[in-house]
A and B are shown apart, each in its own frame.
Chain A
Amino acid sequence: MFFRRTIFNISIFWYIGFIIIPLCLLLFLSFQKIGNYGEIINNFNLGNYERLLQYSQVKVFLNSLVLSFLTMLTCVLLSIAISYKLYFLRRTQSFVLLGFILCPFVINSIIRYYSYRLFISPKGLISDWFDWSIIPTDVVVMMGMISSYLPFSLIPIFIGFLKFDQEQVESCFDLGGTKLQLLFYILLPQLKKYLFSGGILVFIPALGEFVIPDLLGGAQRIFIGNVMIDQFLKFRNWPMGSAIVFTLIFIFLLFLIIQIQIKKIKIREVK
């Protein structure tokens, strides 16, 4: 019994100390105000959240939401296309191809952005033949986002395709369906939950992204990540930063609840 109690205490200490207490601190800080000399003044007010509702801040949130939504959409569509192609190959072949597609994603993210930036710079590999300046920075940022978030949606969606009931596919072909009909009428409607979880896995981290817009876009358009880092590290306005973080966490929890709800439905269907 002593052993059980020890491991229980250790794990509860970890979660309380490093997840729950910081969360509470964050909530507490977000209702404070900052003084003239950067000190935190202890009086309860909603000023930070009111400031978040101003037009400029709402625009930042909208920027981020649009960027992550577009990233999610493209990633999911690309993943569907890739896994649909891989689905009809032999197993070993499809795994080798998947490995080829996923291989660059295992290396350090900063190196990846570095090589992308080198690629689009005037010294890049194809810059002699192709003028990169005609492509707007927003598109470059989007390309960076897609290329770094593709695995998050590709892996769940590919697993969904792999798990799919083979008999249904055969009966579709027996009844004279084409491959595209198979995709739109049979595969996609039944793989909805995999598409959804793949999308969420892209959407949530993309919302807090800071490095890609900063390095590839030259920080021309401001996203939540940039604002957060500025508030915490540059202006030292921690209460304001906490308010932003808390709003983000609120959005994440919303998605988490949706995800759990979907899982529950899935379990019920199985039962």
Chain B
Amino acid sequence: MIQLFLNGLAMGSIYALVALGIVVIANAVNVVNFAQGENVMLGAYVAAWLTLTLKLPLLSSYIISIVLMAIYGYVFQKVAYYPLRKKPFITVVVSTIGVSLFLKNIARIIWGPQPIYFSGLFGEKTIKVADVFVNPQNLLILAVTTCLVIYQYFFFTKTPLGRRMQATAQDQEAASLMGIKVSRMIALTFIYSSMLAAAAGVLLAPIFFVSADMGGSLGLKAFAASIIGGFGSVPGAIIGGLFLGVLEIFGAAYISSLYKDVFAFVVLVLILVFMPRGLFGEKISTKV
């Protein structure tokens, strides 16, 4: 029981971390980034490649991967978002779907079709507490997600740069009238979101195995999580992710593992029907 709950929470915080990246961009530029799952995949591959092929120490390849993904985030918004920013919502969404397909196939060409095992900081050890086996990697994921959420809260509400980004997210026109460089803020948001993806990628690599297809279902679940939590809400994305992770594992354990994926999407439909604002919705999700 506790074992299941713990594993559910770990899975859920992975969803939450990816959902966070989606929500940050959605808030800033009103676009759903369907390539977020693939960004995670890319981050994981880069870290795995740095460690396994270039034999760099684990921590430094984590950091390099996050830095490279920050650069990637800038390029991504220059190529896939910026030229289309005046176009309708759906055009940009299709462009992100295009990026996701592109990344998936590029990864397959570069790194091949076989999944790679990339161990984390703790190898394969598990800790036994009472009757519960704890995977330290799961604890790390929980801890990092918590830290990032707290950090993000302070960053967006207390620092000048964060406030400027927040202002851009709320109203681009008003923000630019206040002397904020809107396009720079947007670029920063994409960079931040890609860094989140890289962090998620390196954290979940030991659990997911690194493969070209790892991002697909992940992106979809994270998107579902952000809707369950209330689209556009940061605490909503976190709670939605955790809720989804726990729901899945309990559904699989007590109802049927055959329908594991069904639970997530049934709940998604129920939430959309009965609580269209989601659990923590701030605005009605007309965007999707």
Instruction: Please indicate whether A and B come from the same complex rather than being unrelated chains.
Output: no
User: B residues within 8 Å of A by Cβ?
Assistant: none
